[in-house]
Amino acid sequence: SAVISQKPSRDICQRGTSLTIQCQVDSQVTMMFWYRQQPGQSLTLIATANQGSEATYESGFVIDKFPISRPNLTFSTLTVSNMSPEDSSIYLCSVVMGRVNTEAFFGQGTRLTVV
């Protein structure tokens, strides 16, 4: 299993600024993901955070807007850059272990409001 600490838990930010969200895992994991959860609750995968290399972004998400770092197997950050009110959402960090029959683990989420 894995325990994930994600912070901040919430923030209110001015438009045009940036926010960095941190995700710390209590064990080494291969696969780490960042999701966005819009009001209405569906999860959208932003990117896969790759250790030691550039993240793999899903369609509609770009590195300039959502730069991701993953310096080691237990830590990652997601930055939401040049924020607008449309970026108001919940951002979730998630990890999975290697085997396909194991579940995903989630951080408690970061609730971001852009004003």
Partner 1 sequence: GDSVTQMEGPVTLSEEAFLTINCTYTATGYPSLFWYVQYPGEGLQLLLKATKADDKGSNKGFEATYRKETTSFHLEKGSVQVSDSAVYFCALRGGSYIPTFGRGTSLIVHP
Is there a contact between 86 and 111 (Cβ–Cβ < 8 Å)?
no
106 scored as a contact of partner 1 (CB under 8 A) = yes
Q: How far is the CB of 16 from partner 1 (least distance, A)?
A: 27
The amino acid present at 107, given as its one-letter code, is: G
> d(Cα 99, Cα 95) in Å, to the nearest integer?
12
Number of residues that bind partner 1 (CB under 8 A): 23
Q: Which residues of 39-64 are buried (b: 16+ CB within 10 A; e: fewer)?
A: eeeeeebbbebebeeebebeeebeee
> d(Cα 1, Cα 104) in Å, to the nearest integer?
9
Q: Which range touches partner 1 (CB under 8 A), out of 11-19, 67-75, 78-86, 106-114?
A: 106-114
Q: Which position among 45, 67, 69, 73 is part of the footprint of partner 1 (CB under 8 A)?
A: 45
Binding pattern for the stretch 51-90 against partner 1, x by CB under 8 A and - elsewhere: ----------------------------------------
Q: How far is the CB of 22 from partner 1 (least distance, A)?
A: 14
